[in-house]
Structure 1
Amino acid sequence: MSDLDKKRAQMATGAGFIAALDQSGGSTPKALGLYGVDASVFDTEDEMFAEIQKMRERIILAPDFDQSKVIGAILFERTLAEQIKGKAVADYLWDDCGVVPFLKIDKGLEDIVDDCQVMKPMPGLEDVLASAAQGGVFGTKERSVIHAANAAGIEAVVAQQFDVARVVIAAGLVPIVEPEVNINSDSKAEAEVILKEALMAHVGRLNADQNVMLKLTIPEMPGLYDELADHPRVMRVVALSGGYSTDEACARLSENSKMIASFSRALTEGLQRDMADADFDAALGQNIGKIYQASVA
């Protein structure tokens, strides 16, 4: 079996979750702040990204970060140029951890229109995808945000997501379509029902050789996305933590048996830069264990 076939099988049926390690320019300062790194310690963007790379490397090198519980990891584009123990990060993930690498490709969000935020343009996307595929990346992730149950806005989000997904598929990669529903929305449940129908419609228009993954906010109605998970064009439905605590995100996820986690903040909850390595590994291992159990429940 080729590496590509092994990666595909692991993502389609593997037991475990996807670690979201794709903090970008906008989310990095907050992530570092939670990690105990104040913005005063770095003066430039390069120094900021160096700090977040140290955090990512520490996570990836932890004993519990391997394919027994973590089946995939999403990286920020800049991370692809970094190395761990002399190997490109994507290669280290797969060769040494058995973890399938993905790449965040969106460039942030446009302003709110119709209660939703579509993605900003992605200039040079084809070149980025070609380089990622050559570097052993299996798939991509691209995020939009839905703030309220507005059918027009939700359709615009989903339509754009699938336009991008087709470009990703043409490059030989598997897209993770991520139309996040804001967990603080007053109409979250209603928005999720509209989103589910829009996703079903667009998934139904894919060709037999076009497959996607979906990354969705954990729904208010358990099992809402089961029909999507069973669709032949959907490789996997994964859940984002969306700002929920680790315990709440895991509790909600455990009620959705056909979703697995793809958590970022919930994965790193409680981790601090100044922790001794043993304490850091223990805290991370506890989070990984909780998220794994919720994903296989």
Structure 2
Amino acid sequence: MTERLEDIAAAMVTEGKGILAADESSGTIKKRFDSIGVESTEENRRDYREMLFRADDAMKNYISGVILYDETLRQKAKDGTPLAEIIRAAGSVPGIKVDAGAKALAGFPGETITEGLDGLRERLNEYYGLGARFAKWRGVISISETTPTWGCVKQNAQALARYAALCQEAGIVPIVEPEVLMDGDNATHSIDRCYEVTEWVLNTVFDELFDARVKLEGMVLKPNMVIDGKKARKASQEEVAEKTVRVLKSTVPSAVPGIAFLSGGQSDEEATAHLSIMNQNYDLPWALTFSYGRALQAAALKAWGGKSENVAAGQRAFTHRARMNGLAATGKWTQDLEQAA
């Protein structure tokens, strides 16, 4: 029986669970490994991710899906089990990053367009055969005195829509990720400026999704939170939550089953606290959860340190962050629970 897109999307935003973004590119994972003095070899990358995927308490109770990099989807654990099978056995959905990264947008200085549409139909069919049931594509929008421009917003929104339509054709749920970066200083990147740009971007993305005939019930949105630029962080957690919910309610159709936030450079606890306040204080038409990478993994990576004898410690650190974010996804996280662990 063919799996329905709506059912896969609903499983990805199961109450109290969220998505682990373990799709770091080769360059990004090397930076992460450099920070703990570990060489970024294929075997070390495999061992690190296997440690996360075999953290049964975290995976079974708090993780609904895992975004993988191409290499990881094809890898097998030390005992020969495909990593995607380990994820499935834990009750999570395996997914795949399919974009080819943000490249300079010709004619638009300082702005980028995400590449990877060429050959995507064929790659999606292969990924489906390898077990992936959702995909991810990230469009990047920057805020400065001169950006974003309409050309950049429009072209990234169109690319996201074309990607999403191809995913659904292949029986794969698209995660649509338009990220308004939190870089920038106070003059150009106040929380109000972030609100304005995020509203513009999301409205444009949903216009393009509609024109591309993308089925909203069979997708998941992965947006940024509405937040000050990192050089201008002044807004309270309550203000971030209020403005983020307000922008989503004004732009995201209720047919979308769930919204899984990116952490976007927030600290581990900030990302958790903001999500919890939103779920605790607001009545929402969609599930609101997390799709964090660094904010789920940073503590685990440090605890592991590349040593096999530290696997259990790494899994404990990962489980703690997964549990805290699982609580946040139901509005039940507190600072006391964070410190009690």
TM range (shorter): 0.7 to 0.9
1:173 CA displacement: 0.9
Report the equivalent of 2:129. Answer: 134
Q: Is the 8 A contact 1:222 1:255 kept in 2?
A: no
Q: Is the 8 A contact 1:158 1:199 kept in 2?
A: yes
Q: List structure 1 runs of 4+ shifted beyond 4 angstroms.
A: 1-6, 227-230
Match of 1:217 among 213, 224, 245: 224
Pair 1:154 & 2:147 matched: no
3-state SS in 2 of match to 1:254: helix
The structure where helix makes up a greater share of residues is: 2
Match of 1:231 among 244, 254, 257: 254
Match of 1:92 among 79, 86, 89: 86
1:209 CA displacement: 4.4
Report the equivalent of 1:188. Answer: 194
1:227 CA displacement: 4.9
Match of 2:67 among 69, 74, 78: 74
After TM superposition, the score normalised by the length of structure 2 is 0.76
Report the equivalent of 2:203. Answer: 197
Q: Is the 8 A contact 1:101 1:138 kept in 2?
A: yes
CA distance in 1, matches of 2:62, 2:161: 29
Q: Is the 8 A contact 1:73 1:100 kept in 2?
A: yes
Q: Give me the CA root mean square deviation.
A: 2.4
Report the equivalent of 1:276. Answer: 310
Q: Is the 8 A contact 1:23 1:31 kept in 2?
A: no
Greater alpha carbon shift after TM alignment, 165-174 vs 111-120: 111-120
CA distance in 2, matches of 1:208, 1:178: 15
CA distance in 1, matches of 2:33, 2:45: 7
Report the equivalent of 1:83. Answer: 76
Pair 1:25 & 2:26 matched: yes
1:71 CA displacement: 0.5
Report the equivalent of 2:170. Answer: 171
Change (3 A) 1:50 1:123: farther
- The Cα offsets for residues 104-136 of structure 1, whole Å up to 9 and x where unpaired, read as 001111115365321123443222111111222
Report the equivalent of 1:125. Answer: 120
1:181 CA displacement: 1.1
Report the equivalent of 1:266. Answer: 295
3-state SS in 2 of match to 1:71: strand
1:66 CA displacement: 2.0
Change (3 A) 1:145 1:169: same
Q: Is the 8 A contact 1:102 1:139 kept in 2?
A: yes
Q: Which has the larger radius of gyration?
A: 2
Unaligned runs of 5+ in 2: 228-242, 280-286, 332-341
Q: Name the count of aligned residue pairs.
A: 287
